[in-house]
Amino acid sequence: MKNEASKFTGLELLRQPFPAHQISKLPRPTRKDNPKGKCNECGGYHGLPAVHLDYVGHAALTDRLLDTDPAWAWEPLAMSESGLPVMDNMGGMWIKLTVCGVTRLGYGHAGDKIGGDAIKEVIGDALRNAAMRFGAALDLWHKGDLHVDEDEPKPRARQAEPEIDLSPKARAIRITQGVKDGDAENAAAAMSGWDAALIDSVWTLLDKATQDKLTAHWPKV
């Protein structure tokens, strides 16, 4: 990858937006039973009409991690006595991601997947989550968590949510809920990637308790 981002190095490089060719499209049909057809937007074959969510796939993220630090590494946070990574009782796993000598935690789960695919999904999801703590692809974060198979992108089986309200008020509601759910770190990380005017306009809509929690978790980069 030699593009605009290449004038940055180290952790600063990790924060640079991904070029368009490294952003994949996840089709999500507006209804589960939409008839399938050839899609002009992504070239795939899936239920139409559909909305498309942008995401950075495992290969593109790995490419960026290697450009940032060829010696980057991840490991499970905990290993069992039999030498296998410890999964939590929700099928998720915490990992440590180390880039340029800095280690941050990430959490991944497999969504609806089961079996061997689920393990790969847990790892990919945890790496995306941990890399986001370094600022990677933060601009895409507000589009929600993604559980995709890179070989064959499939929409998750869930209620169609075609429109995401990006108004400050709607963002404030989501941020407040995220903090209430105990994920102030994620909420602060996402917010810190917005432009200053947007942060200001959302900030004034938050209650004091939410503001305090966000301040405590604001990324110190």
Pair 79, 91: CB distance under 8 Å: no
The reply to whether 41 sits near Zn ion by the rule CB under 5 A is yes
Binding segment for Zn ion (CB under 5 A), chosen from 41-49, 105-113, 115-123, 162-170, is 41-49
The reply to whether 207 sits near Zn ion by the rule CB under 5 A is no
The reply to whether 49 sits near Zn ion by the rule CB under 5 A is no
The reply to whether 39 sits near Zn ion by the rule CB under 5 A is yes
The site that binds Zn ion (CB under 5 A) totals a number of residues, namely: 5
Pair 91, 97: CB distance under 8 Å: no
Name 137's Cβ contacts closer than 8 Å, sequence gap at least 6. 17, 18, 55, 56, 61, 128, 131
Binding segment for Zn ion (CB under 5 A), chosen from 19-27, 77-85, 169-177, 178-186, is 19-27
Instruction: Give residue number: closest CB to Zn ion.
Output: 39
The reply to whether 47 sits near Zn ion by the rule CB under 5 A is no
Minimal distance in Å, beta carbon 145 to Zn ion?
20
Binding site for Zn ion (CB under 5 A): 27, 39, 41-42, 44
